[in-house]
Structure 1
Amino acid sequence: MINTSVANILERALMGYDLSPEEGVLLLKQTDSEAIAAIRHTADQLRYNQVGDTITYVINRNINFTNICEQHCSFCAFRRDADDVGAYWLDWGQILEKSQDAVKRGATEICMQGGLNPEAQINGKSLPYYLKLVATIKQEFPQIHLHAFSPQEIQFIARIDGLDYATVIAALRDAGVGSIPGTAAEVLDDEVRKVLCPEKINTETWLEIISTAHKLGLSTTSTMLSGHIETPEQQIGHLEKLRSLQQTAINEDYPARITEFILLPFVGQEAPKSLRRRVGRDQPVLADALLLGAVARIYLGNWIPNHQPSWVKLGLAGAKAALVWGCNDIGGTLMEEHITTMAGAVGGTCMEVDTLQTAIASLGRPYQQRDTLYQKV
């Protein structure tokens, strides 16, 4: 028998009401199979009400231009010091080659992020290097959408060059960046961040940079790294901050906003031993990811209607399952994925378009290619 308060929360959600944080936590703490089934059903129904039955995907390519990084996040198996074995830093020719390959394979988007490499400068300045990175791609392929540089990278550029965030974001926008990945969010709770990524920007800075991007006309995505040391209360606190950020963008009529929410379950296989011991497992727990994804749809869906699982982290079967737990987008082809794969993920580094289409069709749902901003292609 489903708990009355859970039934009431789900009923109100279906009527279009926003959940309170307390209601969100209550849903996340359910262990009864009937209650969990009702949460799944509600999330799936809201997905249908908010965005319909079509499952979207994007043809994109990742370019992680360097893995040299000054920071030491406890979950990251990607970063290297400059003199480490396996350290790399792509030159302009390699960037162009990868971009050309992406365009040849039908990509509409290049997603570009990298380590925080203190040597990545031109004439002693960081911003000119990043602007050249953008120009190298955009001069040759003006039609490609550049989804680039996390809030952490923007803060890094601003700090090195003594600039404010708005100046950096406006310069990147004017050079040809089309939108900003909402990565480096991990969990937007400073107690969690002290353990996971003590050198990274704090919650307030992440929110400020994303909001500044919206004001300056650059859409962003939003993410959560889940399933490590955070509590249900901290997970809902994260969703509350994202919802509030989006409400501000809409209520203040900013020219851009958050386009999607992506849940990134923690993969710890190659994480440092201390964090692995604390988490107690190497791969995500699918049931936990599905429940959190469903609650995220119920919590955010009125404000952030597009929800995407990570096939890299969950595998294609896990991502497919998430499409009946409230998600409406299966993500991108990626063509080359290093960061999660180096952490020990089993989902693979590249997905062919027909593989994504077949996975969607097997659910009896239609599919549609989209661009970065969720327009039909």
Structure 2
Amino acid sequence: MIYPNDAIINQTCDSILTRALQGFDISPEEAVILLKQSDPQAIPSASDTIAQIQFTADQLRKTQAGDIVTYIINRNINFTNICEQHCSFCAFRRDNRDTDAYWLNWGQILEKAADAVERGATEICMQGGLNPQAKINDSALSYYIKLVETIKTEFPKLHLHAFSPQEIQFIARMDGISYGDVIIALRDAGLGSIPGTAAEVLDDDVRKILCPEKITSATWLEIVTTAHQLGIYTTSTMLSGHIETPEQQVIHLEKLRSLQKTAIEKGYPAKISEFILLPFVGQEAPKPLKKRVGRDQPILEDALLLTAVARIYLGKYIPNHQPSWVKLGLAGATEALTWGCNDIGGTLMEEHITTMAGAVGGTCMEVETLQQAIASLDRPFKERNTLYQLL
């Protein structure tokens, strides 16, 4: 492969980064140029360019989100690991007949919610496998409404951040109703916001290999847009560092940016509240994908560069960016705060999906530990709620 000489690449990257600092949107082609600075065959001066990308992302973070690093006290509840799908990266799912399959009952869910409240949580994040048995009176929607009401009736002040676009589609398909009907019913029952998971990479060539049974990119975008139109905020994510190319990473970022710009321009009552990069953990992933990727843990340098480019590309429209301490470890997540991130995430209290994939970050983080990590950068910290209001 032939690369332009150092001077040309440096001049191009300098121009891209200067325009970004001036507040202009960079193009998809320019974002790909920035991401390809990590190519091991690239020009010798790539390390200098990467340092400039980091600087630009950090400056934009300061302009767009400020110096305060936020965190949230929250708890994950993964209510079942029984799932009808077979994503190539997932070590969490089980069949109903498996000895380690589980499905929490209402008492167990309330016990976890009560523990979260006792520990100061303002949010419950709840997601699970696509369990075909999850019905009440032969209705999947009734079961999911019961999940919401079980927590909200007992703990009305808790914000319930639950049910990915994939789960919304699952409910709609099981009951033969529209996505809007599902979201309205869950919203009226007490759902506060929707996690933007199941996005993986919003490129269907990647999805055909990574998660062929999952919703398409267009369906994910449609459900998120519908949520925004109905006043339900969502987050956004990207599962990175597996089989996708830099071009496909940028396709994903462009779809998120376009979606958010539309929500802003059309004045939707809700929009995307944050972007979270989720580097692939392959230690316990199914063997075909693990063999294809060829490593167990994320490459921190790649994750940091993508973190910075995501800030440069999205930050004007999605100002809150968060790393995953579960996937990168606390040290890696702390480092990401100097590459464009302004939030360090939540306490989680328990986490099964990534942990079962072999992540080394742990399942729970104490508030004091998060605060100490932020303070190590000489940055101030503040607790926030789900929608980034400081507490």
TM-score (ref. length: structure 2) = 0.96
State how far apart, in whole Å, the 1-side matches of 2:162 and 2:287 are: 31
> Which residue, 78, 81, 85 being the options, matches 2:99?
85
Which position in structure 1 is the counterpart of 2:133? Answer: 119
* 1:58 aligned onto 2:72: yes
Per-residue CA deviation, residues 8-36 of structure 1 (Å, 9 max, x unaligned), is: 00000000000100000000001410000
> Which residue, 125, 134, 143 being the options, matches 2:148?
134
> Which residue, 6, 22, 28 being the options, matches 2:29?
22
State how far apart, in whole Å, the 1-side matches of 2:125 and 2:326 are: 15
State how far apart, in whole Å, the 1-side matches of 2:355 and 2:252 are: 25
SS in 2 for 1:177: coil
Which position in structure 1 is the counterpart of 2:3? Answer: none
Residue identity opposite 1:367 in structure 2: F
State how far apart, in whole Å, the 1-side matches of 2:66 and 2:150 are: 38
Instruction: State the shift of 1:323 in Å.
Output: 0.2
> Which residue, 145, 153, 156 being the options, matches 2:170?
156
Residue identity opposite 2:16 in structure 1: I
Following TM superposition, the consecutive aligned residue runs of length 4 or more in structure 1 with deviations greater than 6 angstroms are: none
Which position in structure 1 is the counterpart of 2:285? Answer: 271
Instruction: State the shift of 1:85 in Å.
Output: 1.7
SS in 2 for 1:123: coil
Which position in structure 1 is the counterpart of 2:251? Answer: 237
Instruction: State the shift of 1:94 in Å.
Output: 0.2
Mean CA deviation greater in 209-218 or 28-37:
28-37
State how far apart, in whole Å, the 2-side matches of 1:228 and 1:43 are: 23
Which position in structure 2 is the counterpart of 1:341? Answer: 355
* 1:100 aligned onto 2:114: yes
State how far apart, in whole Å, the 1-side matches of 2:371 and 2:362 are: 17
TM-score (ref. length: structure 1) = 0.99
Per-residue CA deviation, residues 130-168 of structure 1 (Å, 9 max, x unaligned), is: 000000000000000000000000000000000000000
Structure 2 unpaired stretches of 5+: 1-6, 39-45
* 1:6 aligned onto 2:20: no
> Which residue, 238, 241, 248 being the options, matches 1:224?
238
Which position in structure 1 is the counterpart of 2:212? Answer: 198
Residue identity opposite 2:201 in structure 1: V
> Which residue, 80, 84, 88 being the options, matches 1:70?
84
Instruction: State the shift of 1:76 in Å.
Output: 0.3
SS in 2 for 1:81: coil
State how far apart, in whole Å, the 2-side matches of 1:79 and 1:272 are: 11
* 1:361 aligned onto 2:375: yes
Mean CA deviation greater in 258-267 or 28-37:
28-37
- Percent identity among equivalent residues? 76
Which position in structure 1 is the counterpart of 2:158? Answer: 144
Residue identity opposite 2:33 in structure 1: L
Instruction: State the shift of 1:44 in Å.
Output: 0.1
Per-residue CA deviation, residues 98-140 of structure 1 (Å, 9 max, x unaligned), is: 0000000000000000000000000111000000000000000
Residue identity opposite 1:10 in structure 2: L
Residue identity opposite 2:218 in structure 1: E
Number of residue-to-residue matches in the alignment: 377
State how far apart, in whole Å, the 2-side matches of 1:30 and 1:130 are: 45
State how far apart, in whole Å, the 1-side matches of 2:310 and 2:317 are: 11
State how far apart, in whole Å, the 1-side matches of 2:49 and 2:307 are: 15
State how far apart, in whole Å, the 2-side matches of 1:241 and 1:279 are: 25
State how far apart, in whole Å, the 2-side matches of 1:137 and 1:271 are: 32
Per-residue CA deviation, residues 190-226 of structure 1 (Å, 9 max, x unaligned), is: 0000001000000000000000000000000000000
Instruction: State the shift of 1:272 in Å.
Output: 1.1
